[in-house]
Amino acid sequence: MIEVQDWKWFGNAGHFICASHCRFHLTTLIGGWMVSTVGEYLPDSTTRETIARVRGNPIVGRGDEGECEFLEKFGFEKLGSFGTFETMVFTAAPCTEEDCPCGGFPAPTSWVSAESLRYDSAADATKGHYAFCMKAAHGDIAVAEE
């Protein structure tokens, strides 16, 4: 059992290539496991305009106004075919580079997710993140086959 006080919490996203466009992200390092949750994905302006046009409801506003208009019309984009939030668990090790400004942010030793779930609310994503953290702390996650 890895005690909660030994978990390392990070406010950065640990996975998802478009994570810089997600408004929700949690990453926790527990022993050799990185639990990463992202969500509330809002694509960049060019992608938003394309999505809106393809869906037959173009965005009129620009800048922040266009962003608000997109959210009012469509909400946040799903991650894959369902779920606005996603948690994935990877084997990982903390950064050990001297004087690195990341603060020991974990680097996956494999990008094959051992476990994952998707959710439709921030509350469920937060609960799911903590549930995976508890599984990792208790040694209840198996290494994924590559």
For residue 41, give the 3-state DSSP assignment: strand
* 41 strand-pairing partners: 22, 77
The predicted pLDDT at position 125 comes to 97
The model's pLDDT over 83-120, given as tens digits with 9 standing for 90+, comes to 999 999 999 998 888 888 888 889 899 999 999 999 99
CA 45 vs. chain centroid, Å, equals 20
The model carries a pTM of 0.90
**How far apart, in whole angstroms, are the C-alpha atoms of residue 19 and residue 32?**
22
| Neighbouring C-beta atoms of residue 25, cutoff 10 Å | 22
CB 85 within 8 A of CB 24: yes
Tokens of 57: 């409801």
